[in-house]
Amino acid sequence: MQIYDTEINSRLLVGTAQYPSPAVLVDAINSCRCEIVTVSLRRENADGSGTGFWDTLRQTGTRILPNTAGCHSVQEAVTTAQMARELFGTNWIKLEVIGHADNLQPDVFGLVEAARILCAQGFQVFPYTTDDLVVGEKLLEAGCEVLMPWGAPIGSGQGLRNPDALRGMRAHFPNVPLIVDAGIGRPSDACQAMELGMDAVLLNTAIAKAGDPAAMAQAMAQAVDAGRAGYLADPMERRNMAIPSTPILGMAELA
């Protein structure tokens, strides 16, 4: 999978919040063999001091995708992104501009504006967006080369609430990397997203809040691989009527 100028082998991206301990987080990352983890700037102080969370992540060998989690305005998101670039030394940024306090739905108007500003400043933006085709077009016009539509509200574990819309995005943007971000609760959800043709899945709460985060991380990785393989195998289309798998022609006639 090619994301901007980087080739990625794992199609599972993992968040780093809400884990019981840093050790559990590291075990989960190692179990799923992910190559990209997201981290909020709030995990570190601006001078790099504090909890040492950044050092813990560096030990895993994963690539850091900073995010602007919790930002509700364009200015807040842009400033947070600029600080993240300075701290983490990367042009990658997962852009969140939250518009609704309860369901954490993106403010797509602010999102497009912030994306345009950051792309002009040399950022490689991963926008957390809805499954709206027009918004997707606007984000690509702003300079984004990847789209991250939600499956369901962040942390809800509801799975894919609108798989038809995601299927439509895949058809409308055949050459754009699509990463389902938010809402995945079970391995079957991740598998479904990949079967729809998504390029990757980003999840956090489903692993962090599982009874055994490392085991769930491994299950999610396997589900992503299975869903991708199923999509590439070109599954049969669903039918309204039964069709016998054994042909009638040639069967014995019993008197």
Residue positions in the annotated binding site? 155, 182-183, 204-205
CA 82 to chain centre: 22
Q: Residue positions in the annotated binding site for 1-deoxy-D-xylulose 5-phosphate?
A: 155, 182-183, 204-205
Phi-psi region of 79 (alpha: psi -120 to 50; beta: other; left: phi over 0): alpha
209 as an active site residue: the answer is no
The alpha helices in 14-162, defined as continuous H runs, are 22-32, 53-60, 74-88, 108-120, 133-142
Closest by CA to 69, choosing from 91, 85, 50, 84, is 84
What is the chain's percent helix, strand, coil content, to nearest 5?
40, 15, 45
The one catalytic residue in 11, 85, 94, 228 is 94
Classify residue 249 as exposed, middle or buried by CB count within 10 Å of its CB (0-12, 13-18, 19+). exposed
Active site residues: 94
